[in-house]
């Protein structure tokens, strides 16, 4: 037998110490005795016994023992005892996928129905439904970039974030690809044993070209970029959120078009792939094609032995002992009790409400 949290067993000192202290105190009181005119009493749930000299302590000691046993069982259960083994399914996956979503205001343009941003959400959802065990993370970017969800095999975290993503999610507008690439490089693990993919969903509007300095680092870390251009060549006007459209400083309505040159260069320089996502594409199939074109990450479905948890076997006796102790210690309602007084002449029974 082993314990998952053996350090918890140090808490056993508390109930054992309390029982030892209580026993020592009672032996000392019994040894000292009592003045002749002083009565000692012992109160139970149904009776109160008064006697001269040392008071019997069997009943009270029995209550303390039940309390101590309950605490001991509970502490041992908290330490999570384990014995025996069972097999559990585990995925060994060396593929890492980082999804980057453009949250600039131009992503609200409706040239791709229902909007560029909504199309990005649908593509991400379709990808998550087809993945099995890959570690996936999420980066959001516009004028700055932020790692929203670190690489993890728990896809529910990403699904929770998707509905809340919008242009107001980040403090700066625009599109900064240098910030995106720097954040992505920091998000991937330090080892180079995994196949790494950076999936960018954007309309390609880049205000600066300083991102090209990060291409060498992408190649060094074996990160392949899969670029998805969200938008059309004809473009569309950008809603401003108040029923109108975004205008430039001269007052002219801004027309946003897909600018794929940046996305294409990122994909070409890193051995990835570019696709025009103005029409629906099969993103999981595109990812598979990109993996097959390069070094494929190892994927294995293993069954690993795991120690069987047995803490529940101790919780039941712990609960029973504690309930019994409290029932003996704290009666649920007051009731009349007979008070026999040892060492005195027989008298008519008296009843005292206690």
User: What is the predicted pLDDT for the residue at 209?
Assistant: 77
Structure-token pair, residue 89: 């399914």
Parallel/antiparallel/unpaired status of strands 255-256 and 236-237: antiparallel
Helix (H, G, I), strand (E, B) or coil at 146: strand
Task: Tell me, yes or no, whether 117 and 78 share the same domain.
Answer: no
Task: Tell me, yes or no, whether 119 and 43 share the same domain.
Answer: no
Q: What is the pLDDT of residues 215-254, one digit of tens each?
A: 888 988 889 999 999 999 888 998 887 878 888 778 888 8
What domain range includes position 77?
2-84+309-353
Task: Tell me, yes or no, whether 171 and 240 share the same domain.
Answer: yes
Residue 303 lies in a domain: no
User: What is the predicted pLDDT for the residue at 101?
Assistant: 94
User: What is the predicted pLDDT for the residue at 212?
Assistant: 84
Q: What end-to-end distance do the CA atoms of the chain give, in Å?
A: 48
* DSSP one-letter string for 179-223: HHHHHHHHHS-S-S-SEEEEEEEE----S--GGGGGHHHHHHTTE
Read off the pTM.
Answer: 0.58
The helix (H) or strand (E) run that includes residue 223 is strand 223-229
Structure-token pair, residue 175: 């599109």
Residue that is written with structure tokens 């101590």 in the block:
68
The domain total for the chain is 2
Over its C-alpha atoms, the chain yields an Rg (Å, rounded) of: 36
Higher pLDDT, 57 or 42: 42
Q: What is the pLDDT of residues 263-301, one digit of tens each?
A: 999 999 998 899 998 888 888 788 777 766 554 445 445
Mean pLDDT for the chain overall = 77
Q: Which of 8-17, 93-102, 254-263, 303-312 has the highest mean pLDDT?
A: 254-263
Is the pLDDT confidence value at 208 over 80? Answer: no
User: What is the predicted pLDDT for the residue at 296?
Assistant: 46
**Banded model confidence at residue 49, pLDDT cuts 50, 70, 90:** low
Task: Tell me, yes or no, whether 143 and 211 share the same domain.
Answer: yes
Is the pLDDT confidence value at 92 over 60? Answer: no
Residue 169 lies in a domain: yes
Residue 202 lies in a domain: yes
Residue 293 lies in a domain: yes
Question: Which residues are bridge partners to 333 per DSSP?
Answer: none
């Amino acid at each position: 037998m082993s314990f998952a949290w053996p350090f918890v067993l140090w808490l056993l000192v508390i109930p054992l110490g309390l029982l030892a202290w209580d026993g020592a105190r009672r032996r000392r009181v019994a040894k000292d005795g009592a003045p002749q005119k002083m009565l000692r009493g012992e109160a139970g749930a149904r009776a109160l016994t008064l006697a001269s000299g040392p008071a019997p302590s069997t009943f009270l000691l029995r209550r303390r023992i039940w309390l101590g046993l309950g605490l001991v069982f509970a502490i041992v259960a908290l330490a999570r005892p384990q014995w025996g083994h069972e097999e559990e399914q585990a995925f060994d996956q060396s593929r890492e996928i980082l999804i980057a979503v453009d949250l600039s205001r131009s992503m609200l343009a409706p040239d791709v129905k229902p909007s560029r941003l909504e199309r990005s959400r649908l593509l991400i959802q379709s990808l998550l439904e087809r993945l099995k065990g890959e570690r996936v993370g999420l980066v959001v970017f516009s004028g700055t970039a932020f790692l929203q969800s670190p690489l993890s095999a728990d896809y529910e975290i990403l699904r929770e974030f998707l509905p809340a993503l919008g242009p107001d999610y980040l403090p700066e507008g625009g599109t900064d690809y240098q910030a995106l690439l720097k954040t992505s490089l920091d998000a991937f693990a330090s080892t180079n044993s995994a196949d790494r993919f950076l999936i960018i969903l954007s309309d390609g509007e880049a205000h600066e070209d300083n991102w090209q300095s990060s291409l060498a680092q992408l190649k060094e870390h074996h990160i392949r970029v899969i670029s998805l251009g969200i938008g059309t060549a004809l473009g569309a006007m950008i809603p401003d959120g108040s029923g109108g459209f975004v205008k430039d400083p001269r007052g002219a309505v801004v027309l946003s078009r897909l600018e794929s040159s940046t996305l294409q260069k990122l994909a070409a320089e890193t051995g990835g792939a570019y696709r025009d996502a103005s029409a629906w594409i099969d993103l999981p199939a595109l990812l598979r094609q990109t993996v097959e074109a390069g070094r494929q990450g190892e994927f294995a479905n293993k069954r690993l032995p795991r120690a069987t948890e047995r803490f529940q076997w101790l919780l039941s006796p712990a609960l029973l002992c504690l309930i019994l102790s409290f029932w003996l210690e704290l009666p649920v309602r007051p009731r009349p009790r007979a008070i026999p007084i040892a060492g005195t002449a027989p008298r008519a029974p008296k009843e005292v409400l206690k």
